[in-house]
Amino acid sequence: MTAASRARLLADLGRYAAAEEEIRIGLAAAPGDPELLVLLAAVLRLQRRHEEALAANTLTGAAACVERAESLLALGRTPEAIGSATEAIGLRPAEPDGYRVLARARAAAGEFGTARDAARQALALGPRSVPSLLVLAEVERLAGRTRAAARATRAALAEDPESPGGRWLIAVLNAERLHVGEAMRGLRALAADHPGRIEGTALAWPVLGLLAGLRRGLGVGVPLVVAVLLAEHRWPPSAGFARAVALVVAGVMAGFAARVLLPAGRLPWRSLGLLPRRRVRAVALVAAAASVTLLLAYAATGGWAPLLLALGATLVLLATGRAERM
């Protein structure tokens, strides 16, 4: 078995550091080996060392162009990724790899029609190709065509029922439809079979997604209640209307939280504890719970104090969102 074959096997198992070591041993014996150089760039990219991957990729062939497009796409340099993928297609128009990365780059640019065309060109070169079917599924998902994405994903799983990418996409589609229990069962099984491929962020998505939804909902709902109440001097019935709005906002947020968290079980909470910025997220959860509780208190009493405290808690919740992104 060659160094490249051993490295690919290790990478398929998610052992990227070991794969990199194997590649570097091979390059010590054959410094200019094009296959190993492209593999090195790929393994660096899979370890999220995107700038290093670009620096390592100094070749000009089709495979190097495809790998360069992947790194550029990961860095958010979408126009350059499109250019590199197009160059790869020009060099080898009968190979599907260039069309697949072009489809993903076009989708990242919001060009879903041309992305879909590129994915279908890849499929024309191999109608039963699992990677091409999954690229089409991802394009359709990003385009908001959930049923088409599910069809393409099921077609990929029919070819390879154990495909990690297919199982991942099914879980993501279930999550986006708020089929939380199904999504978590799929992710839990995938993590058990491929522990190197699933990060804590993926397993903690119910809590992280809930916080994102609460920031959007409370960030609009609480100021709306305040605005309606401030109109009382012009329209006296607005005070009662504001209490009704507060009750609706609190009820919707509480219902959303229950729908996400109850089917998710304990795994998201355990995974959340392994992520960075744990204290920030703990503050966010407390602030969200306080905001909903105080909205209910305002709806019940009509007093200004609970509403102002709810507004303060919501501002803290929004501030934690900015802190998480820093």
Domain boundaries, given as residue ranges, for the chain: 3-199, 203-325
Angstrom distance (rounded) from CA 285 to CA 266? 16
The CA distance from 308 to 33, in Å, is: 66
At 319, the amino acid letter reads A
Of 287, 291, 277, 283, residue with least CA distance to 204: 277
Tokens at residue 194, please? 């491929």
Strand, helix or coil for residue 32 = coil
Q: What does the pLDDT profile of the chain (326 residues) look like in tens digits?
A: 788 888 888 888 778 889 989 889 888 888 888 888 888 899 999 888 999 998 888 888 899 999 999 999 999 999 999 999 999 999 999 999 999 999 999 999 999 999 999 999 999 999 999 999 999 999 999 999 999 999 999 999 999 999 999 999 999 999 988 899 999 999 889 888 877 667 778 888 899 999 999 999 999 999 999 999 888 777 778 888 999 999 999 999 999 999 999 999 898 998 888 788 889 999 999 999 999 999 999 999 988 999 999 999 999 999 998 887 76
Give the Cα separation of 106 and 88 in Å (integer): 15
pLDDT of residue 130: 96
Contacts of 17 (CB under 8 A, 6+ apart): 47
Which pTM value belongs to this model?
0.79
Whether the Cβ atoms of residue 106 and residue 115 lie closer than 8 Å to each other:
yes
Helix axes 205-230, 180-193, angle to 10 degrees: 150
Comparing CA positions, the residue from 82, 148, 131 lying closest to residue 110 is 82
* CATH of 3-199 given 3.90.260.10, 1.10.569.10, 1.10.443.10, 1.25.40.10: 1.25.40.10
